[in-house]
Chain A
Amino acid sequence: EAQVTQNPRYLITVTGKKLTVTCSQNMNHEYMSWYRQDPGLGLRQIYYSMNVEVTDKGDVPEGYKVSRKEKRNFPLILESPSPNQTSLYFCASSWVAGGSGTDTQYFGPGTRLTVL
Chain B
Amino acid sequence: SQQGEEDPQALSIQEGENATMNCSYKTSINNLQWYRQNSGRGLVHLILIRSNEREKHSGRLRVTLDTSKKSSSLLITASRAADTASYFCATRRSNDYKLSFGAGTTVTVRA
Contact = CB atoms under 8 A, between A and B. Distances in A.
A33 B48 CA distance: 19
B102 A109 contact: no
A100 B30 CA distance: 10
Contacts, number: 70
A31 B92 CA distance: 14
- From DSSP, what is the main secondary structure of chain A's interface residues? strand
Interface string A44-65: 1100101000001011000000
Given A42-B103, A107-B42, A110-B41, A101 B33 contact: no
B97 A43 contact: no
Q: Which of B35, B42, B101, B103 has the most CB of A within 10 A?
A: B42
A3 to B, nearest CB: 10
Given A100-B95, A101-B97, A109 B88 contact: no
13 contacts: A43-B88, A45-B98, A48-B98, A58-B98, A90-B42, A102-B98, A103-B33, A103-B48, A103-B92, A104-B33, A105-B45, A105-B90, A106-B45
Interface of A: 4, 31, 33, 35, 40-45, 48, 50, 56, 58-59, 88, 90, 92, 96, 100-110, 112
